A and B are shown apart, each in its own frame.
Chain A
Amino acid sequence: MTDKIRKKWVLHFPATNSDKPIAYHLVKDFNLVINILQATAQEETDSFLILEVIGRKKDIEHSLEFLRQQDIEVEDMEKGITLNFNKCIHCGLCVGLCPTEALTIDHLTWEVCFNKSECVVCDLCLKYCPVKAIEMEFLK
Chain B
Amino acid sequence: MFEILPCKGHRDGVPEMRVTYNQLLKMVLEKGIKETAKQVDSVALGVFEPLENVVLSLNISGLHIKPFSAKLQNVPLYNVSSDTFILGSQTLAIDDGMNSHFPGEFAYGGAFLIEDLINRAQLDLRINGYPNDVHDKQEVRKFITNEDVDRAQLTIDVVYPQALNAYVNSTENYKFSENGVVKTNFQTVNFRSNGVLQLIYEIKEFVSEVFVAGAKGSILFGDNGYKIVGDFKEMDTLYISGLSLKGYGIYLAAGIGIVVKAENNQALIEKILSNEARAYNLFDIGIKKDVGTIPLAQLKKPTVSVNNLEVKTCSLTSIYLAQKISEKLIVS
Q: Chain A residues in contact with chain B, CB under 8 A?
A: 1-2, 89-93, 95-97, 104-105, 107, 109-112, 127-128, 130-132
- Write 22 A-B pairs (CB below 8 A) sorted by A numbering: A1-B174, A89-B48, A89-B318, A91-B253, A92-B316, A92-B318, A92-B319, A93-B180, A93-B181, A93-B314, A93-B315, A95-B302, A95-B312, A96-B189, A96-B190, A105-B302, A107-B300, A109-B323, A128-B180, A130-B180, A131-B244, A132-B244
The 8 closest A-B pairs by CB, nearest first: A96-B314, A90-B320, A130-B243, A110-B319, A110-B320, A92-B315, A96-B312, A96-B188
Report B279-312 residues with CB < 8 Å from chain A CB: 300, 302, 312
What is the bound-complex CA distance between A116 and B223, given in angstroms?
Answer: 50
> Can you add 19 more A-B contacts, CB < 8 Å, to A89-B48, A92-B313, A97-B183?
A1-B173, A2-B172, A90-B318, A91-B317, A91-B318, A92-B315, A93-B180, A96-B183, A104-B302, A109-B323, A110-B318, A110-B319, A111-B320, A112-B320, A128-B181, A128-B246, A130-B316, A131-B241, A131-B243
What is the bound-complex CA distance between A131 and B244, given in angstroms?
Answer: 7
A1: chain B residues within 8 A (beta carbon): 172-174, 184
Chain B proximity of A131: nearest CB distance (Å): 6
B313: chain A residues within 8 A (beta carbon): 92, 96
Q: Does B154 contact A (CB under 8 A)?
A: no
Q: A1-B174, A92-B314, A130-B244 are in contact. Are A97 and B181 (CB under 8 A)?
A: yes
Nearest B residue to A105, CB-CB: B302
Q: Which of A89, A105, A111 contacts B241 (CB 8 A)?
A: A89
Nearest A residue to B248, CB-CB: A130
What is the bound-complex CA distance between A93 and B245, given in angstroms?
Answer: 11
A89: chain B residues within 8 A (beta carbon): 48, 241, 253, 318, 321
A112: chain B residues within 8 A (beta carbon): 320
What is the bound-complex CA distance between A23 and B243, given in angstroms?
Answer: 39
Q: A1-B173, A105-B302, A130-B245 are in contact. Are A90 and B321 (CB under 8 A)?
A: yes
Report which residue of A89, A109, A131 has the largest number of chain B beta carbons within 10 angstroms of its beta carbon: A89
What is the bound-complex CA distance between A1 and B313, given in angstroms?
Answer: 20
The SS class assigned to the A binding surface is loop
Number of contacting residues on B, CB 8 A?
33
Chain B proximity of A132: nearest CB distance (Å): 7
B312: chain A residues within 8 A (beta carbon): 95-96
A93 and B316 form a contact (CB under 8 A)? yes
A132: chain B residues within 8 A (beta carbon): 244
Report B176-213 residues with CB < 8 Å from chain A CB: 180-181, 183-184, 188-190
What is the bound-complex CA distance between A110 and B326, given in angstroms?
Answer: 14
B244: chain A residues within 8 A (beta carbon): 130-132
B317: chain A residues within 8 A (beta carbon): 91
Chain A proximity of B111: nearest CB distance (Å): 10
A95 and B318 form a contact (CB under 8 A)? no
What is the bound-complex CA distance between A107 and B323, given in angstroms?
Answer: 12
What is the bound-complex CA distance between A92 and B321, given in angstroms?
Answer: 12
Chain A proximity of B195: nearest CB distance (Å): 15
Chain A proximity of B263: nearest CB distance (Å): 28
Q: Which of B173, B174, B189, B314 contacts A95 (CB 8 A)?
A: B314
B48: chain A residues within 8 A (beta carbon): 89
A91: chain B residues within 8 A (beta carbon): 49, 253, 315-318
Chain A proximity of B44: nearest CB distance (Å): 16
Report B220-274 residues with CB < 8 Å from chain A CB: 241-246, 251, 253
What is the bound-complex CA distance between A110 and B244, given in angstroms?
Answer: 22
Chain A proximity of B15: nearest CB distance (Å): 26
Residue-wise, chain B 150-192 has the 8 Å CB interface mask toward A (1 for contact) of 0000000000000000000000111000001101100011100
What is the bound-complex CA distance between A131 and B240, given in angstroms?
Answer: 11
Residue-wise, chain B 36-63 has the 8 Å CB interface mask toward A (1 for contact) of 0000000000001100000000000000
